[in-house]
Amino acid sequence: MTTKNDDVKLIGAWPSPFVWRAKVALNLKSVKFEFLEETFAPKSQLLLESNPVYKKIPVLIHGGKPISESLIIVQYIDETWSSGTSILPSDPYDRATARFWAHYFDDKLFPAIRSITGAQGEEQKKLIKELGEGIVLVEDTLKKLSNGKDFFGGDQIGYLDIAFGSIFPWLRVVETLHEVKLVDEATTPGLVNWGEKYPKHDAVKYVQPEHEKLVEFAKFLIARAAASTPN
């Protein structure tokens, strides 16, 4: 039987927004863990054994038992270390709402961010426009769920803050690389405030890499993709 005090390990890689989610959740719960950096060249045996279905990071290993998929990991952490700050809302409807929007972030926003970097010309403009429209939806959601507070979770960061917080730095990378503004005072003032407060939270500030480091990594990925594309 797994207990809360069993060894906790996290398989991940520093640029992964999904790994950041697990780290922030563990930090919120003050859980000590060992971070195992995955190199992918080739994928480690531990990763292949721990997540044989998708073979992806992150994987949380608690007492020798693996848990995969970032949002599932966050929920597991919240349920296992139930004392202290609650990550998911206690009300069933609020929990369902949070899960819906977290799914939206992963199903719509992050794929759009990834697609933009590989697109060109009119297609890229179209994708940027659609992403901007999605961000306005997130602004409206923040306004409804925060009750005038700084975070989706109100006074404290919660499930949706962790879910969107992993995507936000890559959104900023898109803005830098393509010289666009998707989050600004005119259209998304709530997200501007949120984007200033969330990275400074104690559970977050040592997790997410600096903007410049992410931009350089994105440029590396773009160059690698271009080099592997047939002429």
| Residue 219 within a domain | yes
Answer yes or no: is pLDDT of 130 > 90. Answer: yes
Residue 230: predicted pLDDT: 67
Same domain, 176 and 140: yes
Same domain, 52 and 76: yes
* CATH code of 162's domain: 1.20.1050.10
- What average pLDDT does range 73-100 have in this prediction? 95
Residue 120: predicted pLDDT: 86
Same domain, 132 and 219: yes
- Identify the band that residue 174 occupies on the pLDDT scale cut at 50, 70 and 90: very high
Domain of residue 183, residue span: 92-228
51 vs 40 pLDDT, higher one: 51
Same domain, 44 and 96: no
| Residue 212 within a domain | yes
Same domain, 114 and 224: yes
Q: What percent of the chain has pLDDT over 70?
A: 98
| Residue 161 within a domain | yes
Degrees, nearest 5: CA angle 64-69-75: 80
> Strands 59-62 and 65-68, how do they pair?
antiparallel
- What average pLDDT does range 174-196 have in this prediction? 96
* CATH code of 64's domain: 3.40.30.10
Same domain, 99 and 205: yes
Same domain, 59 and 143: no
Same domain, 120 and 211: yes
| Residue 18 within a domain | yes
Q: How many domains does the chain have?
A: 2
- What average pLDDT does range 116-144 have in this prediction? 93
Same domain, 101 and 72: no
| Residue 87 within a domain | no
Residue 231: predicted pLDDT: 58
Answer yes or no: is pLDDT of 220 > 70. Answer: yes
**Nearest-angstrom CA–CA distance, 171 and 158:** 20
| Residue 116 within a domain | yes
| Residue 204 within a domain | yes
Same domain, 161 and 220: yes
- What average pLDDT does range 67-73 have in this prediction? 98
Same domain, 163 and 223: yes
Answer yes or no: is pLDDT of 147 > 70. Answer: yes
Same domain, 25 and 64: yes
H-helix segments, the chain: 17-28, 45-50, 70-80, 92-104, 110-118, 121-146, 159-178, 189-197, 211-228
| Residue 110 within a domain | yes
Residue with tokens 């936000």: 168
The mean pLDDT value of the chain amounts to 94
- 111-126 per-position pLDDT tens digit: 999 999 878 899 999 9
Answer yes or no: is pLDDT of 227 > 90. Answer: no
